[in-house]
Amino acid sequence: MYQYTAFDQRIVDERVAQFRDQTERHLAGELSADDFKVLRLQNGLYIQKHAPMLRVAIPYGLVNTKQVRMFAHIARKYDRDYAHFSTRQNIQFNWPELSRVPDILADLATVQMHAIQTSGNCIRNTTTDQFAGVAPDEVVNPLVWAEIIRQWSTIHPEFAYLPRKFKIAISGSTKDRAATLVHDIGLVALKNDAGQIGFRVIVGGGLGRTPIVGTAIREFLPWQHLITYLEAVLRVYNRLGRRDNKYKARIKILVKESTPAQFAEWVEAEFEATKNGPTLLSQHEIDVVSARFTQPVYKSLPSDDAATVTFAASNSEFARWQRRNVHAHRVSGYAAVTLSLKRIGVPPGDITADELDRVAALADQFNQGELRVTHEQNLVFTDVEVSALPELWRELKALGMATPNIGLIGNIIACPGGDFCDLANAVSIPVAAAIHERFESLDYQFDIGELDLNISGCINACGHHHVGHIGILGVDKHEEEWYQITIGGAQTIAQGGTQTAKIGKIIGPSFARAQVTDVIENLITTYLSLRERDDERFVDVVARTGIEPFKERVYAEAN
């Protein structure tokens, strides 16, 4: 976990003071609603249906238990006793009062947290792999680089008023768990033959109205040039990105309309003119930032724990949990554990203040006082001793966070949708709840196997429906809620030697809300009848057969 210096703290404190002044001027009538809107968004504050919503940054998904307890405190003091984890490694509070938001930000600053640039047309929170630092397939630990990007992008004077929001994701593993191909910039940290660190730079990916898989414009950028290169991309985008139409303002449209080759040429020219200047990173700077990270302390342990193995043999529920929610670790005798926040009757990603406190206590006991937030709206303990798994499982079970549904249909990703969000065409959470209930049986979920189901309440795609194996999108038809279904999408899928992302295909006309659960069930039964092996996943079958057999079955049944 990165520890603030006095310097970091001062910037965050001054930001709180700045926003307090802006809020006061707004409330005094000196700053118009329109002008203030842009400023408050850059501090994470939306005004939504019922009340403001405050989005707090969890830089690259890493939090300590002191911070988690602060979330609980904020939920109790300023909100309605709960909070919501978003799909971008942020936490959201849905009911704060505008005049008290500066106080919330001041409270957050006491635990080295902020809401800077969590919304607005600026560089947003950089996201990464939830298993960064512990994944066995990791080539480069992306955390230090993510922090370097955080610092560089924080209150960057040139890029505060971009054509549109700008999201950077970074991965350092063979398997891309950070969705680098569907971000404005995706960075894949890797090593060349000489063992030097560099980055593959992918630009112009994104979901929303025009889903596009990004294009790599640099296969290996030596790490020293990371910031210079990012500035080159951002400068080209800031100057040439469209500002006449907000739906065409993302960098992906510029890359597409100008062609990736032309875009790359502009970036390279800009980079040539600026490289080896003051933004060149030195080993010293990297060392200084690295040294500010506390590191987990590992004991020397055998890879397996006899008691845990015995327990798994006698307890199938635990064994199932171990199969789905426990993940391999690069250090012998340790495991990473996903706490499932996908519970029947609770909106995906929601958590109460008391649960936050309980989770913090468990993280202190089992995970060296830290945890991670995932873009799938779950939590992860990254450094659990294998021998402690049975005990942790019992505790999580008592909390309702041990459902073994990670990677299964029960792990639905859903945006807040029509219940909270002004932009929604339709609700997401009740649709997720209905599907979750239909597939409640874990036996059934295990039989279906790996399946990502994503729901967005509108084309902004906060639920990343395009890259769900099954995607559900709320559309507006004569002021009624309808849902369009896509299949075959994938956030990351192996292709040749590399990882790519796939945008799902629309199966046909949309469905009324009452039909959606049946349609999903029809898709699943079609898949089960088509699959050739138990480990042929839904998404693999769609890739093999195309969407036709699914389409036929679904529309035959629906009519």
Partner 1 sequence: MPKLINRYGVVDAKTGTDGWIEYTGDANAIPAGAKVLLPLTEFREFSGTWQKHVGTNGALGVKLSPADDPALIAHDLEKLALIAIEFPAFTDGRGYSTATLLRERYRFIGELRAVGDVQRDQIFLMSRAGFTTFALRDDQSVEKSLAAFNDFSSYYQHAADRFVDRSALPLAA
Q: How far is the CB of 164 from partner 1 (least distance, A)?
A: 11
Binding residues among 110-129 for partner 1 as defined by CB under 8 A = 121
Q: Per CB under 8 A, does 106 bind partner 1?
A: no
∠ Cα 179 185 188 (to 5°): 60
Backbone φ and ψ of 521, nearest 5°: -65, -40
User: Which does residue 461 bind out of ligand SF4, partner 1, none, counting CB within 5 to 8 angstroms by kind?
Assistant: ligand SF4
C-alpha to C-alpha distance for 285 and 7, rounded to whole angstroms: 15
User: Which does residue 421 bind out of partner 1, ligand SF4, none, counting CB within 5 to 8 angstroms by kind?
Assistant: ligand SF4
C-alpha to C-alpha distance for 114 and 125, rounded to whole angstroms: 11
Q: Per CB under 6 A, does 416 bind ligand SF4?
A: yes
Nearest CA to 366 out of 404, 326, 406 is that of 326
Cβ nearer to ligand SF4, comparing 46 with 237: 46
CA distances from 17 to 10, 21, 24, 106 (A): 10, 6, 11, 8
Nearest CA to 349 out of 548, 124, 91, 162 is that of 91
What the block records as the tokens of 274 is 């600026």
**Which range touches ligand SF4 (CB under 6 A), out of 128-136, 256-264, 417-425, 437-445?**
417-425
Binding to partner 1 by CB under 8 A, coded x per residue (else -) over 153-192, reads -xxxxxxxxx------------------------------
User: Which does residue 456 bind out of partner 1, ligand SF4, none, counting CB within 5 to 8 angstroms by kind?
Assistant: ligand SF4
Q: Per CB under 6 A, does 206 bind ligand SF4?
A: no
Cβ nearer to partner 1, comparing 285 with 364: 285
Map residue 166 onto helix, strand or coil: strand
Q: Per CB under 8 A, does 331 bind partner 1?
A: no
What the block records as the tokens of 258 is 């100008």
Cβ nearer to partner 1, comparing 228 with 499: 228
Q: Per CB under 8 A, does 286 bind partner 1?
A: no
Residue from the set 3, 14, 50, 398 that interacts with partner 1 by CB under 8 A = 14
Q: How far is the CB of 269 from partner 1 (least distance, A)?
A: 11
Q: Per CB under 6 A, does 210 bind ligand SF4?
A: no
Q: Per CB under 8 A, does 56 bind partner 1?
A: no
Q: How far is the CB of 461 from ligand SF4 (least distance, A)?
A: 6
**Which range touches ligand SF4 (CB under 6 A), out of 351-359, 414-422, 431-439, 484-492?**
414-422
What the block records as the tokens of 376 is 């799938």
Q: How far is the CB of 10 from partner 1 (least distance, A)?
A: 6
Binding residues among 20-49 for ligand SF4 as defined by CB under 6 A = none
Backbone φ and ψ of 447, nearest 5°: -65, -45
Q: Per CB under 8 A, does 11 bind partner 1?
A: yes
User: Which does residue 14 bind out of ligand SF4, partner 1, none, counting CB within 5 to 8 angstroms by kind?
Assistant: partner 1
Q: How far is the CB of 455 from ligand SF4 (least distance, A)?
A: 8
Q: Per CB under 8 A, does 7 bind partner 1?
A: yes
What the block records as the tokens of 532 is 């050739």
What the block records as the tokens of 413 is 């990703």
CA distances from 486 to 10, 212, 482, 521 (A): 47, 15, 13, 14
By CB under 8 A, the count of residues binding partner 1 is: 34
Strands (E), 374-431: 379-385, 413-414
Cβ nearer to ligand SF4, comparing 252 with 327: 252
Amino acid 436 reads H
Q: Residue 273, Cβ neighbours under 10 Å: how many?
A: 10
Map residue 328 onto helix, strand or coil: coil
Q: How far is the CB of 266 from partner 1 (least distance, A)?
A: 12
Q: Residue 287, Cβ neighbours under 10 Å: how many?
A: 11
Taking a C-beta distance cutoff of 8 angstroms, is the pair 464, 456 a contact? yes
Q: Work out the burial of residue 66: count CB atoms within 10 Å of its CB; fewer than 13 is exposed, 13-18 middle, 19 or more buried.
A: middle
User: Which does residue 458 bind out of partner 1, ligand SF4, none, counting CB within 5 to 8 angstroms by kind?
Assistant: ligand SF4
SS3 per residue for 203-216: ECCECCCCCECCEE
Long-range contacts of 303-309 (CB under 8 A, 24+ apart): 303/332, 303/333, 303/386, 304/386, 305/333, 305/385, 305/386, 305/387, 305/389, 307/387, 307/390, 308/386, 308/387, 308/389, 308/390
Q: How far is the CB of 553 from partner 1 (least distance, A)?
A: 48
Q: Per CB under 6 A, does 120 bind ligand SF4?
A: no
Q: Per CB under 6 A, does 461 bind ligand SF4?
A: yes
Binding residues among 252-281 for partner 1 as defined by CB under 8 A = 273-274, 277-279
Residue from the set 415, 433, 520, 541 that interacts with ligand SF4 by CB under 6 A = 415
Contacts to partner 1 by CB under 8 A:
7, 10-11, 14-15, 18, 22, 25, 30-31, 35, 38-39, 121, 151-152, 154-162, 235, 238-239, 243, 273-274, 277-279
Residues making contact with ligand SF4 (CB under 6 A) = 415-417, 421, 423-424, 456-458, 460-463
